[in-house]
Amino acid sequence: MENSENDNHQSPSSSAVVIEHSSSELEKVLCDVDLPCLKRFTKAMWIELNLLYKLAAPAVMTYLINNAMSLSTRIFCGHLGNLEFAAATLGNSGIQLFAYGLLLGMGSAVETLCGQAYGARRHEMLGVYLQRATVVLLLFTLPIVVVYALSRQLLILIGEAPDVATLAAVFVYGLIPQVLAYAVNFPIQKFLQAQSIVIPSALISLATLGVHLVVSWIAVYRVGLGLLGASLVLSLSWWIIVSAQFLYIVKSQRCKDTWTGFRLEALSGLWEFVKLSIASAVMLCLETWYFQLLVLIVGLLENPELALDALSVCMSINGLLFMVSVGFNAAASVRVSNELGAGHPKSAAFSVVVVNTVSLLVAVLVAMIVLSQRHVISYIFTGGETVANAVADLSPFLAVTLTLNGLQPVLSGVAVGCGWQAFVAYVNVGCYYLVGIPIGCLLGFKFNLGVKGVWAGMIGGTIMQTLILLWTTYRTDWNAEVEKAKKRLEKWEDLKAPLLKN
């Protein structure tokens, strides 16, 4: 009996065993030169789609639900009035996404390490990475809270209308507790995803969404707390998600090998983790802030209220559907990092092709649906025929952006799985901030094309970045990436050794 318990303790969970066996089977199929090419491809495709479905579907659901909480909060605010909708959107897109991008980006460092460690079956390291990431992210929330507290002054400083900036700041004040929730949630989320544990997070988010909608309705309309009440409820909902996920990690048998309690070695190697986290944060922040800046720039145009309302609807739709791409991003990162950690170069390369193809097909379908409903889709968010017409006019730009979202975020997920964050950060600086935004401002202000010109320039930057990542991924030596993953894991193992000796 004692031996069976020890064996059980050292083996992965049943679902993890299925994933690992399928992963090993995929590598065997891809390496089997005796199989005819078509049969080998068909069999490999079936295995990979099965793995991808189990990862991507719950991940997409989780991100969609989490985004739906933020989106529903803006809808509640939008039905208070157009000015309130513009303020909530500006507070969300102009300030809140600053924190989201920074902390999610820093969290992607633990995504690389946990994914590769799990693939290499170094399960005990995942809990250490989780705790180390949480400590680092909580420290970085302190300056973010200062930014939140000074949001009104900052928005006015960059030229936003004072009445909109004041209401936006009220909305942002209620999101301060959400920042702390982000710092804990993102490491937990990546920790679970690395083990292909995604359904519990989806169910937790779904249950929280129900609570969120009811409490938001009471706070905004019954109690009359307005914008501040709406954002405070959103913060509360995120803390519910964080608490429930952590309770799952502590109590679930599926995490018994990867979570062994709080560990002292989590406090070692913090500076090395900070450096990796900053590279990850810069990469993802430059992507997240890119279209956030679109909203801020449009706020500087003439008649900013109409332009912001129309763009806010488009960005809300883009943000919601972007969560589908983020789900594929997570799946790509997990699949690639797990395969590299396990020493399966062919499986890693094949996973990249499959996940990008599936994501692009979904994105094209969604873009076609949005175009077909362009004249009525704005009424979900706010009333008025003027705004509806403006949204319909911008829908072609939205459709192009949605299509690009089928590739660009997934390629970024591949980069995270491989640990290319620093390289992608340089690409993002060049394509987004040296090409996309300057051209957008030139078209929007100098050539008087308004929001269309700004958006068109920024689409150009996204296309350039996507093409560079496609070429880089195509030229990748996956055998070399496997060796890099081994060296990375050995380095992080060495960082904890001095503390363990003491």
| Tens-place pLDDT, residues 201-212 | 889 999 999 999
DSSP string, 153-222: HHHHHTT--HHHHHHHHHHHHTTHHHHHHHHHHHHHHHHHHHTT--HHHHHHHHHHHHHHHHHHHIIIII
Say what the pLDDT of residue 440 is.
92
The H or E element spanning position 240 is helix 226-251
Distance CA 103, CA 190 (A): 12
pLDDT of residue 404: 93
Contact between 449 and 393 under an 8 Å Cβ cutoff? The reply is no
- Rounded CA separation 469/484 (Å): 19
Percent of residues in the chain assigned helix, strand, coil, to nearest 5: 85, 0, 15
Quote the DSSP letter at residue 344. -
Residue 384 host element (H or E): none
For residues 181 and 100, what is the distance between their CA atoms, to the nearest angstrom? Answer: 10
Instruction: Measure the CA–CA gap between 296 and 96, rounded to whole angstroms.
Output: 13
Max intra-chain CA distance, the chain: 78
Of 190, 148, 178, residue with least CA distance to 238: 178
Nearest one of 70, 82, 2 to 305, comparing CA atoms: 82
CA dihedral 189, 347, 343, 265 (to 10 degrees): 0
Below-50 pLDDT ranges, the chain: 1-19, 497-502
Whole-angstrom Cα distance, residue 51 to residue 394? 37
pTM over 0.95: no
Burial class of residue 262, CB neighbours in 10 A (0-12, 13-18, 19+): exposed
Q: Are 301 and 382 in contact (CB under 8 A)?
A: no
> How much is the CA Rg of the chain, to the nearest whole Å?
23
Asked whether 171 and 230 are in contact (CB, 8 A), the reply is yes
Written as six digits, the tokens of 36 are 């005819």
Structure tokens at 440: 């957008």
pLDDT tens string 303-326: 667 777 788 788 878 877 787 888
State phi, psi for 147 to the nearest 5 degrees: -60, -45
